Amino acid sequence: MSNFKKIANKKICVIGAGLSGVWAAILAKEKKGHVFLSEGIRELLPAEHSELLNKYNIRYETGGHTKKIKNADIYIISPGIPKDSKIYQQLKSFAKPVISEIEFASWFTGSAKIIAVTGTNGKSTTVRLIDHLFAGSKYNHQLGGNIGIPFSKLVIDTENFDKNKIFILEISSFQMEDIIDFRPYISIILNITPDHLNRYNGKLAKYLEAKLQIAANQREDDYYYYFSREKLLRDNLPDIPNTIPYDKNCKYKDLIQLQNNGRIKTIDGDLLKIRGKHNYYNTLAALAAIEQFQLEQDRILANLKSFTGLAHRLEFVKSINGVEFYNDSKATNIDSVIQALESFTDDIILILGGRDKDLDFRELIPYLKKNTKKIILIGEASEKIRNQIAGIVPMEQVNTMREVVDQAYNEARPGEVVLLAPGCASFDMYENYKHRGQDFKSLVNELEK
């Protein structure tokens, strides 16, 4: 480990009291740094966060950054803080390293291997599937990063950092903005489509640049897997020998096949529980992620079949009188809505709306023309959506999720699909996408047969 990474007795300042910031602070403390955490916005932290900080005896301030943040040796910055913010500029003016939590945690991983997955859509599904594919194997695998458990916490909880130890990490583009040495053994980019462009001043190139950081430190014995149908990725391969298009050259590609009806069939004739072309590619990505490890094919197949997918991602809720209800509340951008629509050949009643993320709903038009029978609109973006896709399929605007579900069920005939794939954020009516999806599911479950 280079001197720069030896943090005993160094002053470590963590900016932002999100869960990853809190765990980075704890990790720094465990490594004998002098730690201070500064939260610039929230006055009151969630109880879990303040309890952790108190338990580990970490000094902190909330509700604004004071001069206490000066004179640190290293700054660990929360992924929520944009580069053009005042605080980021201020930290840069101190001329000390400013790193992300992912970078920091990776300093303490010994010979463990990192599998890192990024992309606009499909990260959570893919990392969970990768984790599931290792189930029952000799590998000591742990899942974390953007998916919930901060990498720093995984590192703290780990006892053996040997070569059978694998960290499977979901990485957002924000987390990759401030890396220096972060080096996955396996890195995967699933796709790049417009999302979060507000953070990148509307520039896809900048967003791509952040995503490509995932491979920036990879070497000749590492592997970079990418989605070759995406020109942006084909044109921007990192300069290492092992760059592999997982959708074409994966060792286990023949284990699964995509059927015309959106179902995914295994080589021995069973159907996976997840469906749709996007999940077919996510599965190929997950199969690529494990191909450098020793796993038996029988185990891989069994694990593929027992994978149930994630809640709120094209999640099957219920079938009522032949009408199938799907909850894809996490479909908060255009591409994920398109993927959801493309997962069915039956007629669809589509629920769209929520808080607009500055997206162009006209891009949905060709897909809506195929088998969308009706659109039900809800939330702040209703007016915009109505204007952008006027005259394509009948649309109706309602005010509550209860009306959405009742109306959709009234409209649907046996054999049709009711799909919540809103193409918008949920914050106009809900705390988050989970809350929205949960509300939808509860109301569906209340429908009478």
Residue with smaller CB distance to ligand ADP, 243 or 329: 329
Of 403, 428, 357, whose CA–CA distance to 120 is shortest?
Answer: 357
Contact between 282 and ligand ADP (CB under 6 A)? Answer: yes
Residue 129 to residue 289: CA distance in whole angstroms: 10
| Contacts of ligand ADP in 69-128 (CB under 6 A) | 121-125
Contact between 33 and ligand ADP (CB under 6 A)? Answer: no
What SS3 string covers 127-196?
Answer: HHHHHHHCCCCCCEEEEEECCCCCHHHHHHHCCCCCCCEEEEEECCCHHHCCCCCCCCCEEEECCCCCCC
Contact between 327 and ligand ADP (CB under 6 A)? Answer: no
Residue with smaller CB distance to ligand ADP, 25 or 288: 288
Strand 59-61: give its sheet, edge to edge: 59-61, 34-38, 11-15, 74-77, 98-100
Of 215, 272, 217, whose CA–CA distance to 244 is shortest?
Answer: 215
Of residues 20, 191, 217, 327, which one binds ligand ADP by CB under 6 A? 191
Of residues 313, 374, 436, 441, which one binds ligand ADP by CB under 6 A? 313
Output the residue with the shortest Cβ distance to ligand ADP.
122
Which residue stretch of 35-43, 82-90, 94-102, 330-338 sits at the interface with ligand ADP (rule: CB under 6 A)?
A: 330-338
Contact between 195 and ligand ADP (CB under 6 A)? Answer: no
Greatest Cα pair distance, the chain, in angstroms, is: 68
Residue with smaller CB distance to ligand ADP, 27 or 190: 190
Query: Least distance to ligand ADP from the beta carbon of 33, Å?
Result: 31
Contact between 20 and ligand ADP (CB under 6 A)? Answer: no
Count interface residues toward ligand ADP (CB under 6 A). 19
Contact between 328 and ligand ADP (CB under 6 A)? Answer: yes
Query: Least distance to ligand ADP from the beta carbon of 375, Å?
Result: 17
Contact between 335 and ligand ADP (CB under 6 A)? Answer: yes
Which residue stretch of 17-25, 43-51, 148-156, 334-342 sits at the interface with ligand ADP (rule: CB under 6 A)?
A: 334-342
Q: What is the dihedral of CA 294, 298, 302, 304, to 10 degrees?
A: 60
Contact between 336 and ligand ADP (CB under 6 A)? Answer: yes
Residue 113 to residue 166: CA distance in whole angstroms: 5
Of 23, 122, 135, whose CA–CA distance to 79 is shortest?
Answer: 23
Residue 248 exposed, middle or buried by CB count within 10 Å (0-12, 13-18, 19+): exposed
Residue 224 to residue 423: CA distance in whole angstroms: 30
Contact between 152 and ligand ADP (CB under 6 A)? Answer: no
Query: Least distance to ligand ADP from the beta carbon of 365, Å?
Result: 18
Neighbouring-strand partners of residue 38: 15, 61
Of residues 295, 314, 368, 377, which one binds ligand ADP by CB under 6 A? 314
Residue 360 exposed, middle or buried by CB count within 10 Å (0-12, 13-18, 19+): exposed
Contact between 330 and ligand ADP (CB under 6 A)? Answer: yes
**Tokens standing for residue 224:** 């970079």
Which residue stretch of 210-218, 335-343, 347-355, 383-391 sits at the interface with ligand ADP (rule: CB under 6 A)?
A: 335-343
Contact between 278 and ligand ADP (CB under 6 A)? Answer: yes
Query: Least distance to ligand ADP from the beta carbon of 66, Å?
Result: 35
Which residue stretch of 39-47, 70-78, 175-183, 327-335 sits at the interface with ligand ADP (rule: CB under 6 A)?
A: 327-335
Contact between 352 and ligand ADP (CB under 6 A)? Answer: no
Contact between 281 and ligand ADP (CB under 6 A)? Answer: yes
Contact between 173 and ligand ADP (CB under 6 A)? Answer: no
Neighbouring-strand partners of residue 417: 324, 348
DSSP category for residue 449 = -
CA angle 372–377–382, rounded 5-degree value: 125
Query: Least distance to ligand ADP from the beta carbon of 318, Å?
Result: 18
Contact between 142 and ligand ADP (CB under 6 A)? Answer: no
**Tokens standing for residue 430:** 């809900």
Query: Least distance to ligand ADP from the beta carbon of 381, Å?
Result: 16
Strand 165-170: give its sheet, edge to edge: 140-145, 165-170, 113-118, 186-189, 223-226, 243-245
Residue with smaller CB distance to ligand ADP, 191 or 243: 191
Query: What length does the chain have?
Result: 449
Residue with smaller CB distance to ligand ADP, 40 or 184: 184
Which residue stretch of 96-104, 211-219, 260-268, 277-285 sits at the interface with ligand ADP (rule: CB under 6 A)?
A: 277-285
Footprint of ligand ADP on this chain (CB under 6 A)? 121-125, 190-191, 278, 281-282, 313-314, 328, 330-331, 335-336, 339-340
